[in-house]
Amino acid sequence: MSIREQVKRFWRIFMEEKVNLENALSENKEQEVNEIVKILNTYYEECSNSSLEVAISDDFYELTFHTGQDKNVQLVTALLKQFVPEGVNEKWIINSYLPPLSDKALNTVLRIKDQEYYPEDFRVFYDLDEANKSFHVELYCNAFQFLDPNKANEIAVYMLQLFIGECALEAYIGTIDVIDSERSGNACILPEFYEIMIDIIEEKEWPEYYDPTTIYRVYSLKDEIDSKDVRKDMKMIFTVHPILISEVLEGQLVTYHQFFDYGGEFGFLYYKNNAGNEADAIYRQQLEKKLNDLLFPQGIAKSIGGAIGTTYSYIDLAIYDKEAFLKALKKINEKLSIELSYQSFEENTTV
């Protein structure tokens, strides 16, 4: 079953359970909530290998899809959020990734060596990296002295992500380290760090991100290009999925197969360059946006970047419904002055 069909199925099940879930949350019937969440998780897990959680806060219910910072899962949850049924947003906050400053974060208590540690017990020391528009972060907590370094680092990342959210962690945090004593410099308690970050980002006019599937990385391939073959002529890559691209360049398909198992496919469109200069890059960027605006709202595919080559230009895609995509591509080609060809990354890697 395609990812698109699984997403539609998930929301059908959700709508069947919605009233009962709302009543159970409002009346604090924990066992009934858990039973319904178990049903929902059964369907979410099939296309994500992950889980979700629900909560009630003030006058709103909240559903959060966990992604574990897995870009494949983030691409699935982006479609889940896109396909939220009409009317649901009137009562529900739907999070396609872990948000900042959630109730879960604010109520977190860690118990280590019979001692309880609260968010205020974690201090954040940070330095700005203005060239890369990011923060280098060091966390201090007395609890770290009782943990081995790997566990301490794991907890530091977990706590930071809880408070600043998954998107900000990926977009703005350059490094995270654990320190065994406090130091001088910029510092605050953990619950204050997110708002300090946002103030700095706005003051510095750094790019703002609201979705981890829109955070692009740019890579310039420095090796001399001596091929005109498809995907062998690339000189610059733009991607929201660095792990996928790194694996593909190395001839590996672990990430590709994971997404395939969910019901999707990673692939790319390509066409011959026209101008042989900067105009090709501008045209590719505009075409990527137009295709995404056409395909993503329908749940067919989402653009995840692309590349400029000496011979071809490329638009990379996460495809949610392969059959619908191929039909759409045929219609798109009828209206373009260029011919778009398609290959999956698996086809290209094994050619």
End-to-end CA distance of the chain: 27
Q: How far apart are CA 147 and CA 112, in angstroms?
A: 9
Count other C-beta atoms under 10 Å from residue 2's C-beta. Answer: 21
What is the SS3 string spanning 195-242?
Answer: HHHHHHHHHHCCCCCCCHHHCCEEEECCCCCCCCCCCCCEEEEEECCH
Higher pLDDT, 171 or 274: 171
What is the length of the chain? 351
Structure tokens at 79: 């479609």
Q: What is the mean pLDDT of residues 62-79?
A: 95
pLDDT band at 347 (very low <50, low <70, confident <90, very high): confident
Q: Is 175 helix (H, G, I), strand (E, B) or coil?
A: strand
pLDDT band at 351 (very low <50, low <70, confident <90, very high): very low
Contact 309/235 with Cβ under 8 angstroms?
A: yes
Q: Work out the mean pLDDT of the chain and round it to a whole number.
A: 94
Task: Give the CATH class of 216-350.
Answer: alpha beta
Structure tokens at 320: 């949610």
Residue by residue, DSSP assigns 290-351 as HHHHHHTTTTSEEEEEEEEESSEEEEEEEES-HHHHHHHHHHHHHH-SS--EEEEHHHHHH-
Which DSSP symbol is given to 184? Answer: S
* Domain layout of the chain by residue ranges: 3-97, 104-204, 216-350
Residue by residue, DSSP assigns 66-121 as --TT-HHHHHHHHHHHHTPPTTGGGTEEEESSPPTT-HHHHT--EEETTEEE-GGG
Percent of the chain with pLDDT over 70: 97
Q: Measured on CA atoms in the order 38, 39, 45, 46, is the torsion positive or negative?
A: positive
Summarised one tens digit per residue, pLDDT across range 251-307 is: 999 999 999 999 999 999 999 998 777 888 899 999 999 999 999 999 999 999 999
3-state helix, strand, coil in the chain (%, to 5): 45, 25, 30
Count other C-beta atoms under 10 Å from residue 176's C-beta. Answer: 18
pLDDT score of 135: 97
Evaluate if residue 144 carries a pLDDT over 70.
yes
| Residues in a beta bridge with 302 | 318
pLDDT score of 141: 95
Count other C-beta atoms under 10 Å from residue 271's C-beta. Answer: 19
pLDDT score of 223: 67
Q: How far apart are CA 351 and CA 336, in angstroms?
A: 27
What residue has token string 């970050």? 197
Which DSSP symbol is given to 141? Answer: -
Cβ-Cβ contacts under 8 Å for 231 (sequence gap 6 or more): 268, 270, 307, 309, 312, 314, 343, 348
Evaluate if residue 227 carries a pLDDT over 80.
no
Q: How far apart are CA 257 and CA 265, in angstroms?
A: 8
Distances in whole angstroms, Cα of residue 141 to Cα of each of 152, 201, 216: 9, 26, 33
pLDDT score of 350: 45
pLDDT score of 224: 63
